[in-house]
Amino acid sequence: MQEKEFKNWMLGRDFSLATITRTLSYLRYIERLGLDIDNVQSMDEIMNFFAKLRNQGVTRKTLNNHIKVLNRYFQFRGIDIHLKYYREFRDETIIIMSDDEVQKILSVRWAHIDVNRRNHAMLKLLFATGVRINELIQLNWSDLYFHKKEKVWMLKVRQGKWGKSREIPVPPKVIKSLELWREVQVKTDPNAMFTTTQGRISHAYARNIITEAGKRAGVPYFHAHLARHWRAVKWLEQGLDLDIIKTYLGHSSVKVTQIYFKMRERGKMIEETKKKDRFFGSWEQIQPMEDSGGDNR
């Protein structure tokens, strides 16, 4: 990215310093996700990039933020590309998994002991800390340390969204799974927490493990970001303050975290209704109508 020239270009068009800083931060993050913005070969390359993010559970709002800054950068470069925005919905539905579904996923087993221990450690860490998949694959063993004063293991996320770091406590049972994995770990990368025979685990490889776990557990829609949603709601149910959850998840604003609170309250209302409103009979036998055109998620 031609950062210095782009910054001067924005200054010359009276963009505020806050907007300039935010724009550059977005573009650095997009580059870290794998899009070489100075060497884009075709519109298809950009569309494939956004399709991958969408499949990872990235919201339309976040994708539109990416599009805004990319259009701005392409304008600066004089490139004839103008990306269209995704249609945003007022309340983009967040799927919250049940505890039973989580237990089924964590009960999946793999034949080889090293693969089994690695995959279990990865899945447990996702559910226990709510880290994003990109953060998970970048973890090093040095990012895990014991806080002597608080007597708890802490995980430092070095490469969070917007380059911000944060720390999250890790439950003892998850630490035990990590220790078991480390005993048999393939030492193809001396630093990486999760590896394959080729080195540090890749995003695609990790995503395939997560997809396979979901399918084998009978939860075919499972992806890494759903573990993050579940973790946020469980923290809320356990009484953690919104500001604490915001910090652990690495949200830019508590307003983002409040989405989970709204989803939790919505879920409680629906469950209460199903338990008490029996005028038309039991709710348990209702199945989605075929080709109804509605959201059957």
Residue type at 144? L
Q: Which residues contact 297 (CB under 8 A, 6 or more apart)?
A: 93, 95, 221
Confidence at residue 61, expressed as pLDDT on a 0 to 100 scale: 80
Instruction: Tell me the pLDDT band of 186, cut-offs 50, 70 and 90.
Output: confident
Choosing from 117, 118, 132, 234, the catalytic residue is 132
As a whole number, the mean pLDDT across the chain is 84
Active site residue 260: yes
Active site residue 225: yes
Same fold: 3-77 with 99-269: no
Instruction: Give me the residue spans of the domains in the chain.
Output: 3-77, 99-269
Q: Which long-range contacts (CB under 8 A, 24 or more apart) does 9-13 make?
A: 9/76, 10/72, 10/76
> Residues 172, 161: contact at Cβ < 8 Å?
no
Q: Which residues contact 196 (CB under 8 A, 6 or more apart)?
A: 186, 188, 202, 205
Q: Is 165 helix (H, G, I), strand (E, B) or coil?
A: coil
> Residues 137, 202: contact at Cβ < 8 Å?
yes
Choosing from 117, 161, 231, 246, the catalytic residue is 161
Predicted model pTM? 0.62
**How do residues 217-259 score in pLDDT, each as one tens digit?**
999 889 888 999 899 888 888 888 888 888 888 876 666 666 6
Thinking of the domain 99-269, which architecture would CATH place it in? Orthogonal Bundle (1.10)
Active site residue 66: no
Class of CATH domain 3-77: mainly alpha
Using the structure block, give the residue that is written with the tokens 């709510």: 130
Instruction: Tell me the pLDDT band of 280, cut-offs 50, 70 and 90.
Output: low
Instruction: Tell me the pLDDT band of 293, cut-offs 50, 70 and 90.
Output: very low
Half-sphere exposure of 80 (CA within 13 A, CB side): 0
Instruction: Tell me the pLDDT band of 292, cut-offs 50, 70 and 90.
Output: very low
* Range of lowest pLDDT (155-169, 197-211, 235-249): 155-169
Angle of helix 17-32 versus helix 3-11 axis, rounded to 10: 150
Confidence at residue 163, expressed as pLDDT on a 0 to 100 scale: 61
Active site residue 132: yes
Choosing from 117, 225, 229, 246, the catalytic residue is 225
> Residues 192, 139: contact at Cβ < 8 Å?
yes
> Residues 160, 250: contact at Cβ < 8 Å?
yes
Query: CA angle 159-162-163, nearest 5°?
Result: 30
Length of the chain in residues, anyone? 297
Beta bridge partners of 156: 167
Active site residue 251: yes
H helices within 130-253, ranges in order?
133-137, 172-184, 203-216, 224-237, 242-249
